[in-house]
Structure 1
Amino acid sequence: MKCDCANCPTHACYTKGVNCTGVSLEAVKEAYNEEELKLMQAAAKHTIHKNAASRKVSRLTKRFNKANA
């Protein structure tokens, strides 16, 4: 989820993982789980390489954890 905040002209909230959008934690967690599932399904069907899927999930997890810390 990219930040669309008018108060962040430099998008510092996006790069630092701060939630300034007002989106609830439950909605973010649901979107995270859905995205992880889609990536792993694509890897299982050999649409993308399994290491690429794992790398993307790892990066997504890091951003999710940073935003919720």
Structure 2
Amino acid sequence: MDSQSIKPSIAPISDIGGTAGYATIPVTSEAAAGKYLSDSILLDKLCDRVYELLQEDMRSQRERVRNYGSRRW
């Protein structure tokens, strides 16, 4: 298998040069936001998932800071 036959897993929606190269278009975001805001169960699931991701990120940052000053060898 060569690198030419490997397809990217995430294709950019717009110009990849900007910071929002992998972001969705505003119309899609607005429709999804409206769907989540109108359904309390979906909104609860979204909030729970965001909270889980935040906890995971904070845990990762703590580990990184804790390991920053330690010697590896």
Report the structure, 1 or 2, having the larger helix content.
1
Structure label with greater radius of gyration: 2
Structure scoring higher RCO (CA < 8 A, sep ≥ 6) equals 1
Same-fold status (TM-score > 0.5): no
User: TM-score, with normalisation over the residues of structure 1?
Assistant: 0.40
